[in-house]
Amino acid sequence: MKSRNQIFISATLVFLILGIALFTFFTRDQEPLQTFPATISNDCAPWDGAAFTVLVQYDSMTVIYISIWQSPIINSPNTFSVRNDLEQDGNAYIIAELDPYIMLNGKVSFQSVKAGMPVEGSFKLTSESGEQYEGQFIAAWQNGDVLCG
């Protein structure tokens, strides 16, 4: 009976050590996401419903536009799909100063969205040519009313 307990304890310790080693191995190369400055404003969805748009200053000459086609009131963490098909929750594109815009596909997450409060979120977007854009943002609300419809 004693040897059975020793085998069980030994196996448990081996699995615990292996789990810690794997966790450390897979997380050691991950750098924290860069935080970008951004603004957020009310907008209109394509069907003239409520929406909001976040402008992320990706670098000194490049802005990522993220439009989410729903009311700008989100009380809990939520992730949205931005892509070019019927299942999309919004759209996203990137514009460099003198270049045409490039459509992006991917996911955008928000912790919460409340009028007048800073909005924190993150994005993981990809262009059709495979360029990846990833980071997080803190957006300040821009003043202005939008009349849809």
Same domain for 19 and 52, yes or no, is no
Same domain for 14 and 72, yes or no, is no
Answering whether pTM is above 0.85, one says: no
Same domain for 23 and 87, yes or no, is no
Same domain for 2 and 58, yes or no, is no
The phi and psi torsions of 22 (rounded to 5 degrees) equal -65, -45
Number of domains the chain is built from: 2
In this predicted structure, the answer to whether residue 27 has a pLDDT above a threshold of 60 is no
Report CA torsion sign: 78, 55, 86, 73: positive
pLDDT for 125-145, tens place per residue? 999 999 999 999 999 999 877
Mean pLDDT of all residues in 12-37: 69
Residue 103 CA to residue 126 CA, distance in Å, equals 9
Same domain for 24 and 44, yes or no, is no
Provide the domain limits for residue 25.
1-30
Residue 95 CA to residue 99 CA, distance in Å, equals 6
Task: Give residue for tokens 């800073």.
Answer: 118
What residue ranges in 10-145 does DSSP mark as E strands? 35-44, 50-59, 62-68, 78-82, 90-96, 102-110, 119-127, 132-141
Residue 34 CA to residue 136 CA, distance in Å, equals 6
